[in-house]
Every structure is written in C-alpha cells, then in structure tokens.
Chains A and B, each alone.
Chain A
C-alpha cells in the first residue's frame, strides 16, 4: 500500500507538470493580453512599456522555466491585474470554494446515497419511480438557470435569502449569516450533482442485492435488515466512492458557473476573471490548485476503494 501511494504521488506530480506546461503554452497562444495593456485607453507605446514591466517581452519557453523555478521555490508569481502574490489570492479564494464545494458535497453524498438506496430497495415501485424521475429531471436542468431563477424567487420575490456573496457586508462574523449565504449556492450545486450519485448508488445497490453472496446470505436465513446493512451497503459503497471522486472534479467545474451566478468569491470566479483579463500567473495558479486537488482526491478514492472492498488490492 505504501509503495502504491508513493508511486501514485510521483505520477501525480508528473501529471501536474504536464498540465501546467499545457496550460502555460495554451494561454500564451490566446489572442489578447493583460487587460491593463490591451484596452482602448492604451497607446502602443504604453502597451509596450507594460509588456516590459510584466516581463512579457521574453519568449514563452523562458517565461515557463522562470515560472517553474518559482513554483519549486513556492513562489507562484504576482497577479498582473491585482498586483498581489498569486498564492495569497489562491488561498483566499480556495477557502471560499472549499466551503461551498464541501457543503454541496456533503449534501449530495448524504441525500444522494439515501435516495439511491431507497430507490433500489423499492425497485420498480412508486418511491423508486419518483426518485428516478426527479433525479433525471435534475440532471437535465442547467445549473446556472436554476441559480438565477432561485435568486429571483427566494431573494427578490420572497426576500428570504441573500442573493450573493459569502457574508453580509460590514457586519461582524455570524454563523447564521454565513449559513444564510451558503444555502442557495450550495443547494443549487448539490441539486445539479445529486442525480449522478442517486443513479450510481441505486444501480450499485441493485447489483449487490442481486449478487450471489447476498442471495446466499438470504438463503442462509439471515433476517432481511441485517443482510441489507452488513453486506450490501458496504459493497455498494465502492462505485459510490468512485462517483464521489469524479464529482469533486465536476464540482470545481460546476462551481465556476455557480460562483458567477451567486457572486461567490471562489476559485471558479477567479478563473473566469483571470481568463477574461489574461492574468497569466493567476490562470496557471488556479489550474495548478484545481489539478492538485483532483490528483489528491483520485488517490484518496483509490485508497478508500481498497479499504472498503477487500477484493481490491494494490500490491
């Protein structure tokens, strides 16, 4: 197991290296430039002066090596539009994104697995049909649209919830206030992810229910509930863990749009702002952080696999 984890970590670093190189050259191919330089207010001379200030007059390969050597030393560079260290910006935004993503993830996992199991147990009966329909419907609605509609409903029409941001401005910290801000974006995000989990949980559960060892256990006369809990559930967790791992990736993607809708100052919004303003160091920083999270989560998922399912081993 230790060897496996070590090898995967090494692979992860290689993957991140490739991702960063790919992104670096890609963003530098993009037409346009840092928004401070590429704007209607700028004369050609000013633009050149700014490019020199930013070091953008050097070849791309040189800049990549410079960036990389900085990263090795823990320096992710300085944002071109903000004038602040990229690492600081990332930390601030990452905290917010994690807050949103983890809340949504917990909601999704709890609700999704429960609903999935209920659906499986009541296969082809009303609860199953109901859950499946809602799940399929949920998968088909664009998340950002749901977000906008809920803002109009819950903030504008009903006035129940704040429409955006992480906290009320100018007030001292309050958990209730934070929670109120979190409810809508986290729910919308969770709602868009829920169907996947429900579906996988349901089919995994079904598969296990119909599998030989459950039948055997039943045949041996074990009471229904014990069968369900002990054997079925544990084995059904395997694919659910896998999908949760995948969802972490999707979550960061999904949050790009949801963060825009709810003005949630997270990584996703930072990515959009950076892409629009061609803030190269920030784009790379965001990619690096998101990539790292995904690599780590995938690793965790594999380890969890092994822990939950004795049939899987990595030696």
Chain B
C-alpha cells in the first residue's frame, strides 16, 4: 500500500500507552489466549474421548455425562469441540505461518534485489494470485488427500501471494533509499540489511495481515470441510463438525450452532486483535 516514511522505533512506554487505549483489542487478545489455553489444556481437565462412538446414545440432550450432549454417532460434543478446536486453531495458526514465511521470503527477496529476481518471483506471485485460491485448495486437496499437513500447507499457499505483494511493496520502497546504499557500502551484507534494517519496518503490516490471516485460514478449513475436502473424521475439526451437523439442522440445530459459534468467536477475536494491532503498531497514530 502506501510506503511509510522510515519511522522512529516505537518506544516501549508509548506502546503500552497505546495498548491501553484499545480495551476491546485487549479483551479479544485475552479471549484468544483463553481459547488456545482451553484446547491445549482442555483434554487434561476434561478427559473424555472425542472419538468414542455410542450408537445407543445418539443425539443425547445436554446434561449428565455429556454437558453439551452427543452428536449423531453418540460422541461427546464437548470433547469434540475441544479436540476440534485443537485442529482448527492449529490449522489456522500454522497455515498463517506457512503463508507468512513464504510471503516474507519471496516478497522480501523480490523487493530487495529487483531486476531478474524480481521478475521471476513476482510472476510466480502473479500465477498464484491468478488462481482463485479456493480452486487451488480444491485441486491440491483432491490430489494429495486431506492429511492435516496438506491442509495446512495448502491453506497457507492460498494466502502467501497476497502477503508477498505487501512485503514486496515495502521492501522495494526502501531499496532505493540512501541509508541502504550507505550501509551496503559500509560492508553490511544483503541479508543483514534485509533482516536487521528493513524487516522491522515491515513488521507492523505483516503482523496485522498475519493476524487477520489466521481467521481467514480457519474459515477456509471450514469451507473445505463443507464440500467434504477438509480435515477428515475420525479427527474432529470445527469445520467438519459443522458439515456433519448440516443433516440435523431441523432436529438438532445446536449441533451446528456450537462449532459455528466457535469458528465465529475464534475468527472474531483474531480480527479484533488484528484491528487493534493495526492502530497500535501504526507509527503515525
């Protein structure tokens, strides 16, 4: 987007002052941490198998041994939400990391070196931008199957090109600056300049994009699951719980409400956190 003037580093005190002005963002971040804590520690506190079926006790109402009831195969919904959250939140976080890393490396390299490197790399970016990301997901998952790792990489692939463009724009705007040339002539290596001097300038934008990217990744997994290509049972994910719940929308809409709500809340807190970060990290505000 717009290339900011190289900003003076944000001083610590100022940072916290700005954070205090975003109570909603702070609250969202707290919920986000709580979510991750729950899915990590949850199985210890709630030791019920999410995969144990019980055909004699299907679609049980909430209460008793099953606080949120059971699903269409008699599996405990609470346990599935916890384990499903593990998968969904990891998929979200990890695919964002894949996208972020790729975007930083490719975008940064292209923006910094320009010339032929730029030409080749940015055409690659164009290729990926030209394939509507969901088509890409569709094809890759069909080819390589629905292993969680495949899903993570693929969802990340659907996101990196956009990231690369942003990073590229930032890097190339610094490339021409005098202080870069000066440092290079002082003997600083390209890598050092890129990592130590330019990267920090890109961090605010990257963090914001990445935070929003997690939400996008969680939604993508859910959408993939909807057409049957997402994380596969017996593993639970919020996405495939939602898909299974579809058949029961008339009788037992809660089956769809719970995972739908989890997805919405998770994505929401990521988005709120991202929005707050955007303001907090913006050097001009």
Contacts and interface: CB of A to CB of B under 8 A. Distances in A.
Tell me whether A and B are bound partners.
yes
A contact patch SS = helix
Most chain B beta-carbon neighbours within 10 Å: one of A14, A30, A210, A254:
A30
Interface stretch (B30-38, B71-79, B185-193, B256-264): B256-264
B138 A19 contact: no
Contacts of A256: 132, 134-135, 138, 227
Contacts of A291: 130-131
B135 A290 contact: yes
Most chain-B CB neighbours within 10 Å: which of A136, A207, A290? Answer: A136
A27 interface: yes
Interface of A: 11-12, 14-16, 18-19, 22-23, 26-27, 29-31, 132, 136-137, 139-145, 148-149, 152, 199, 203, 207, 210, 239, 242, 246, 249-250, 252-254, 256-257, 260, 271-272, 275, 283, 286-287, 290-291, 294-295, 298
Nearest to B158: A253
B143 A26 contact: yes
Given A152-B249, A239-B1, A30 B130 contact: no
Given A136-B271, A140-B264, A142-B263, A252 B1 contact: no
For this complex, into which size category does the number of interface residues on chain B fall? 35 or more
B139 A275 contact: yes
A115 to B, nearest CB: 15
Interface of B: 1-2, 123, 126-127, 129-135, 138-140, 142-143, 145, 162, 215, 219, 222-223, 226-227, 242, 246, 249-250, 256, 260, 263-268, 271-272, 275, 278, 284
Given A145-B256, A249-B129, A249-B133, 12 more contacts: A15-B126, A27-B139, A140-B219, A140-B263, A140-B268, A142-B223, A142-B242, A210-B284, A242-B1, A271-B135, A294-B129, A294-B131
15 contacts: A15-B126, A19-B131, A23-B131, A139-B271, A140-B266, A141-B260, A142-B223, A142-B264, A148-B256, A152-B250, A256-B138, A257-B223, A272-B138, A294-B129, A298-B130
A136 B126 contact: no
A254 B246 CA distance: 19
B130 A16 contact: yes
A29 B133 CA distance: 19
Given A26-B143, A27-B139, A260-B227, A253 B133 contact: yes
Contacts of B132: 249-250, 252-253, 256, 290, 294
Given A139-B271, A271-B135, A15 B130 contact: yes
